[in-house]
Structure 1
Amino acid sequence: METSLQIGNIAGIPVKIHWSFLLVIPLFAWIIGSQIVLTTELIRILFGVPIDATLITAGLNPYILGTVVALGLFFGVFVHEVAHSLIAKAKGIKIHGITLLILGGVSQMEEVVPDPKVELPMALAGPLTSLAIGIICSALVYVFPVLPDPAVAGVLIFTFGYLGILNVLLFAFNLLPAFPMDGGRVLRAWLARRMPLSRATQIAADVGKGFAVLFGIFGFLMLNPILILIAFFIYIGANQEATFLRYYVLLQDVTVADAMSNSLVTVEPETPLPRLLELMYETKHLGFPVVERGNLVGIVTLSDIHKVSPIDREAMQVRDVMTRDPITLPPSAPLIDALRIMTTHGIGRIPVVDDGDLVGIVTRTDVLRVMELREKA
């Protein structure tokens, strides 16, 4: 099920909103609105300007301003991600989209082995953009006191002062040297100039996990669920980054042809499901390509059979449960592409087709076997 709604595109990059984004805006609006008196005083002290709070605290205005500030913050996050994406696109990296979600925003880029010369400016672009937004918002705070209506000036000072502080904090937070934040990528790019990329990634990932543990401890001690959530986010992101690069290094220069099985067992669309189950027991395979008149027409797996009740299976054939027009790969495709497709689509095998002919099948087990052999070599 699609969990994000596309709302437009910028420079050819799709922009989406995740459903969790719709939850965090009212939450932030409530938090900001309920603390508006304290925050107004903090802004007055930090910027050293008087603030007329007449309109700020009147009626429902605290929560309306909370909504405005929350939307302004996420607009800043969006611009932050656009900066990443534009630099990456200019460096030849394909951008699949930008998605706003509960913890901010994320740019979906094609997975490639990081080039430190590309990663460094790309990683710095986002935080520096946030810093620029923070400086501009903060500078405007000193412009608004000249307005003739002090109450209106107070609202503008509060709004832009708050956004200035948040964007500067966003700049500082993102530069923490912890994956998957920008600072972790900056650290890796810097280390990769002095050591192998795999080693640089492992060090940056370990630093990220260290920050995650610290955030988690502080979150538990302060009973702060947001810090605990951030800790999980950082730890999982750091682990995924290290794992991805490990896979990429181990599978570098390996093609699907190097790992696929050539001894194919196929079934026909008319094969009864009971016979298909028997074949699985006999061959110890959990999925088969479906071939009709020499052409690949689908793929059938044990999970497809499990979708049907045991009673109904007796009267059904492979054609009733198979996946039609399955994803295929040529023998020359990089094996890392096969692993990426399996992970993305939640499948365990991909038929290998060469010039329209079915020549083999590659499974997740085949990929893991190659990785194990290369790791021990």
Structure 2
Amino acid sequence: MRNFHITRVWGIPIRVNISLLVFLPVLAWLIGSGAQIAAYAGIVGALAGTELDISVLLAGSTPWVVGTLAAVGLFVSVTLHELGHAWAGMRYDLEVESITLWILGGLASFKTFPREWQKEFWIAVAGPITSVLTGVACYAILVALPANATVALFVVGWLAVTNLVLAGFNMLPAFPMDGGRVLRSLLARKRSYASATRTASRIGTSFAILFAVVGVLNFAPMLLLLALFIYAAASGESRTVALADLLEGLTVGDVASPTRLTIDADATVEELVDRMFAERSTEFTVTQAGEVVGVVTVADFKELSKAQREADTVADLMVTDLPRLDSAMSAFDALVELDTGRATSALVESPEGTHVVSREDFTSAMEMRRLERADGPF
């Protein structure tokens, strides 16, 4: 979904997802509803040391004002929470690509995430610590406000309570929430990073199922959405770490197969079909003047008639806009490049010439790694 850039903090782009813009009026209404105001007025009054006049909070359009201020304040708090993560990451010289606010909160995106348990631990806890400090700051403002500033007292007090709840909720060991990352970092002290991720992901999946059950029983769509997010994110990160572990230490040059089956770009498609039958292969590397220029597969010509196969050349069908990778690039980064470009193959440039690497090559390399160590991530 579309994101809108709103500002920069410490050079980090702050973006708002369209889901938040759509949900913000709903959130303002939910917070400013009579039930929410009545539920929190007593708590806020106890914190402020005075009794809040609920009739003032419910008069006219005041609930909308309260709801809007509280909703905006909540996402400012979420931004501060994510900036806490970003600040900790920057202390370890990590690049923060962006902070995105969306319907479920915020997300600080790092270009690379450290595998050292100490770094992950402090980056993970920095967000909840920031939320606690924000809550304390709101409480200090609450105490300093005059007793007759009813709306301001309620909003600031509500933010004080909400920030503390936000910190506590984020520390649940539901990977990949902050508490789940703290759990993984502690597990990684005495086991491999992949094994720690696998365990944390299983616990995160269990929490996702629990949230889903509670969400269904209590008709809470936000909890269901959170459950789906945790389940998908935990499963996805577990797979990513497992792949990275299997490909660790390999370059894309190591993974790429030597170019064996080639066909000239000027050959007819009919010649290509004959070669595929003879070689029992569905993919060929295409060359021109001895240089690799593309790839052609059976899918590229299966819709052609026999007449078209005799008239068209391989150059008319071959895929040439393949990613070009340096042979020294890490195998995992190369696989990410293929996924990002939705490509099935890539051209690998090396001092020995240009080769083609396919997803099948990565699969073969990972299978060999898996067979080498029975206790691997799979």
For Structure 1 versus Structure 2, the TM-score category normalised by the shorter chain is 0.7 to 0.9
Q: Which runs of 5+ in 2 are unaligned?
A: 373-378
Residues 336 and 161 of structure 1: is their aligned pair in 2 closer, same or farther, counting only changes over 3 Å? same
| Deviation (angstroms), 1:295 | 5.9
Aligned residue number for residue 347 of structure 1 = 343
| Deviation (angstroms), 1:136 | 1.0
Aligned residue number for residue 102 of structure 2 = 101
Q: Which runs of 5+ in 1 are unaligned?
A: none
Residues 351 and 154 of structure 1: is their aligned pair in 2 closer, same or farther, counting only changes over 3 Å? same
Aligned residue number for residue 26 of structure 1 = 25
Whether 2:38 is the aligned partner of 1:43: answer: no
CA contact (8 A) 1:13 1:96 kept: yes
SS of 1:118 mapped into structure 2: helix
For 1:160-183, what per-residue CA distance to the aligned partner results, in whole angstroms no more than 9, with x for missing partners?
Answer: 111111111110011111211111
SS of 1:329 mapped into structure 2: strand
SS of 1:206 mapped into structure 2: helix
Aligned residue number for residue 376 of structure 1 = 371
For 1:111-145, what per-residue CA distance to the aligned partner results, in whole angstroms no more than 9, with x for missing partners?
Answer: 45511121111111111001111111122222112
Residues 141 and 208 of structure 1: is their aligned pair in 2 closer, same or farther, counting only changes over 3 Å? same
| Deviation (angstroms), 1:199 | 2.6
| Deviation (angstroms), 1:369 | 1.8
| Deviation (angstroms), 1:226 | 1.5
| Deviation (angstroms), 1:323 | 6.3
Q: Identity over aligned residues, as a percent?
A: 34
Residues 323 and 69 of structure 1: is their aligned pair in 2 closer, same or farther, counting only changes over 3 Å? farther
Query: How do residues 257-276 of structure 1 correspond to structure 2 at under 5 angstroms?
Result: 257-263=253-259
Query: How do residues 1-377 of structure 1 correspond to structure 2 at under 5 angstroms?
Result: 3-34=2-33, 35-44=35-44, 46-47=46-47, 48-53=49-54, 55-112=56-113, 114-146=115-147, 150=148, 153-263=149-259, 325-354=321-350, 359-377=354-372
Alignment length, in residue pairs? 368
| Deviation (angstroms), 1:63 | 2.0
Residues 354 and 234 of structure 1: is their aligned pair in 2 closer, same or farther, counting only changes over 3 Å? same
SS of 2:58 mapped into structure 1: coil
| Deviation (angstroms), 1:92 | 2.5
CA contact (8 A) 1:131 1:171 kept: yes
CA contact (8 A) 2:259 2:285 kept: no
Give the TM-score normalised by structure 2: 0.84
Provide the C-alpha distance between the structure 2 equivalents of 1:295 and 1:140, rounded to a whole number of angstroms. Answer: 70
Residues 169 and 318 of structure 1: is their aligned pair in 2 closer, same or farther, counting only changes over 3 Å? farther
Provide the C-alpha distance between the structure 2 equivalents of 1:302 and 1:6, rounded to a whole number of angstroms. Answer: 43
Provide the C-alpha distance between the structure 1 equivalents of 2:296 and 2:26, rounded to a whole number of angstroms. Answer: 45
The one-letter amino acid paired with 1:198 is A
SS of 2:50 mapped into structure 1: coil
Query: How large is the RMSD of aligned CA atoms in angstroms?
Result: 3.2
CA contact (8 A) 2:292 2:354 kept: no
| Deviation (angstroms), 1:243 | 1.7
Residues 274 and 87 of structure 1: is their aligned pair in 2 closer, same or farther, counting only changes over 3 Å? farther
Provide the C-alpha distance between the structure 1 equivalents of 2:270 and 2:65, rounded to a whole number of angstroms. Answer: 63
Provide the C-alpha distance between the structure 2 equivalents of 1:373 and 1:78, rounded to a whole number of angstroms. Answer: 44
Give the TM-score normalised by structure 1: 0.84
Residues 105 and 37 of structure 1: is their aligned pair in 2 closer, same or farther, counting only changes over 3 Å? closer
| Deviation (angstroms), 1:7 | 2.5
The one-letter amino acid paired with 2:3 is S
Provide the C-alpha distance between the structure 1 equivalents of 2:17 and 2:4, rounded to a whole number of angstroms. Answer: 6
